[in-house]
Amino acid sequence: MSRRYGVELFLRQAEFFKNLSSKERQHVASQSLERTYAKGQTIFHEGHSSDSVWLVMEGRAHLLHYLSVGRVQTTCVMTPGEIFCCLPALDRGTYPATAVAATKAKILQIPSRIFHGLMQSSPAMLQQALCLFCSRLRQVEAKGCLAYDPVEQRIAQAILTLQKKFGDTIPLTRQEISELVGTTVETAIRTLSRFQKRGWLRLSRGSIQILQAGALSKLSSLTV
């Protein structure tokens, strides 16, 4: 199988691109680059001029903010088939976060001019892009509302959100959970251990298995 055909086949299966015509997918495939990143390698830096839209083909990428206090805040976890940083392709602004390969990853780099051209030529794809932007904005707003909730609630909500991406076994470490909810690693470890003692989770090295999603959901919806 040629590289170009493999990319086109992946685009056909990716939610964002599957409604393109065969000709449009071929064009995207021919103009894009497959890039392989080692775990921990930076894909692009926050504040740098954007020139591409990115699509995860294999592995996992995290969008991060490096805070002045020396901590890292994870804003998004991107998994295979998910596109990220497409907003700068429309407003031609800078990258809003730093992207890092959380595992060994294969990422498709799609030039912004190609993405922008698709938006102009396809009203259906433009509508799809707007829906994606709205969905991600809602997630950011919801996360902002949770920022002052007790850490147990924030971690419960994060786990339930990750369940939608990964199912009942979430391949994230305690440190990655702490960066996602904005707390220390030690606090995340203590909280997850309490959840395990209650029988809600099973913790393994590098992963979390959900045993009682209902209990997590009940906790995450508590008001104080």
Q: Model confidence over 137-175: pLDDT tens digits?
A: 666 655 554 555 789 999 999 999 999 999 999 999 999
Rounded Cα distance between 212 and 52, Å, is 40
Query: Nearest to residue 87, comparing CAs of 52, 42, 139?
Result: 52
pLDDT for position 138: 65
Question: What CATH class does 148-220 carry?
Answer: mainly alpha
Confidence of residue 194 (pLDDT cuts 50, 70, 90): very high
Least trusted range by pLDDT, from 86-95, 99-108, 152-161: 86-95
Query: What is the C-alpha separation between 65 and 88, in angstroms, rounded?
Result: 17
* pLDDT higher than threshold 60 for residue 58: yes
Residue 108 token pair: 């498709």
Every domain of the chain and the residues it spans = 3-145, 148-220
Mean residue pLDDT across the chain: 87
91 versus 161: the higher-pLDDT residue is: 161
- 158 Cβ neighbours under 8 A, 6+ residues apart: 177, 180, 181
| Structure confidence at residue 15 (pLDDT) | 83
Does the pLDDT value for residue 186 go beyond 90?
Answer: yes
pLDDT reported for residue 224: 42
Cα angle 169, 13, 130 (rounded to 5 degrees) comes to: 90
Q: What is the pLDDT of residue 195?
A: 97
CA 183 to chain centre: 19
Cα 81 to Cα 12, 174, 193, 199: the distances in Å are 10, 25, 32, 32
Mean pLDDT of 184-200: 96
- pTM confidence score: 0.85
Does 199 have pLDDT greater than 80? yes
110 pLDDT band (50/70/90 cuts)? very high
Same fold, 3-145 and 148-220: no
Percent of the chain with pLDDT over 90: 59
Q: How many helices (H) and strands (E) does the chain have?
A: 9, 11
pLDDT at residue 148, rounded to an integer: 57
Closest by Cα among 108, 85, 110, 107 to 96 = 85
9 contact partners, CB below 8 Å, separation of at least 6 = 1
How would you classify the pairing of strands 72-78 and 61-66?
antiparallel
CATH of 3-145, one of 2.60.120.10, 3.20.20.60, 3.40.50.720, 1.10.8.60: 2.60.120.10
Asked if residue 59 lies in contact with residue 101, where contact means CB atoms within 8 angstroms, the answer is yes
> Measured between alpha carbons, how far is 200 from 192 in angstroms, rounded to an integer?
9
